[in-house]
A and B are shown apart, each in its own frame.
Chain A
């Protein structure tokens, strides 16, 4: 398996624009997680899905952020409108179960909002 695949690797956008980040989890993994990494706050969980259903979105910063998982092999994280403080590296991770399993991370999308 190719692992968790994220696109794009880098995204530079202007403030106010819509940004969509994409993730393809490892085949057969039922759990998908979106994390954000910044120097100040480290790695933070934004939202996670189980069998395509959002389970916990308490980490989503505000209504400008939304995530979907239309099927088992694809998820998106959307920011609309984007702001400079959204600049960060966004990671997607997947795992095969909630307990006694390990999450595998993608390479991340580095987002810069100018």
Chain B
């Protein structure tokens, strides 16, 4: 099956710093998604990417769909305390005969020190 390698596993940063995390895959995806999960809640979609090379922003968040379709990164600028949580990348493959469910990375745990 498809494997997603997400790094780093955890990040300890100071408030105001920029954050960068990425995912790589052993195979291609048609769609890359980035989710954030708060304790006791389900993942919430942050950014969706649909085309290779696409660069998309959502406020302080920026994500890119790699040209090879096997990788994606998420950047957070000027981190604030509410950015704390676990960030997941997810890929989806659509092959014409139907779509697969999402394949998730293991997550990046973001901790912000005041």
Count of chain A residues with a beta carbon within 8 Å of a chain B beta carbon: 25
Decide yes or no: A43 and B88 within 8 Å by CB, A100-B31, A105-B44 being known contacts. Answer: yes
Measured between alpha carbons, how far is A31 from B94 in the docked complex, in Å? Answer: 14
Could you tell me the distance between the alpha carbons of A44 and B33 in the complex, rounded to whole angstroms? 15
How far apart are A7's CB and chain B's nearest CB, in angstroms? 13
Are A48 and B50 in contact (CB-based, < 8 A)? Answer: no
Interface of A is mostly: strand
B residues 61-92 with Cβ under 8 Å of A?
Answer: 88, 90
Q: Which residue of B lies closest to A58 (CB)?
A: B1
Asked if residues A98 and B88 are in contact (CB atoms below 8 Å), the reply is: no
B105 close to A91 (CB less than 8 A): no
Inside 8 A of A4's CB, which chain B residues have their CB? 42
Residues in B whose Cβ lies below 8 Å from that of A59: 101
- Decide: A108 and B42 in contact? CB cutoff 8 A: yes
Q: How many A-B residue pairs have CB under 8 A?
A: 55
Q: Are A42 and B101 in contact (CB under 8 A)?
A: no
| CB-defined contacts of B94 to chain A, threshold 8 Å | 98-99
Contact A98/B104 with A43-B43, A105-B42, A105-B44 known, Cβ cut-off 8 Å: no
Shortest CB-to-CB span from B96 to chain A, Å, is 10
* Interchain residue pairs with CB less than 8 A apart (24): A33-B101, A42-B104, A42-B105, A42-B106, A43-B43, A43-B90, A43-B102, A45-B102, A55-B98, A56-B98, A56-B101, A98-B98, A98-B99, A99-B30, A99-B31, A99-B94, A99-B99, A100-B31, A104-B45, A105-B43, A105-B44, A107-B40, A107-B41, A108-B41
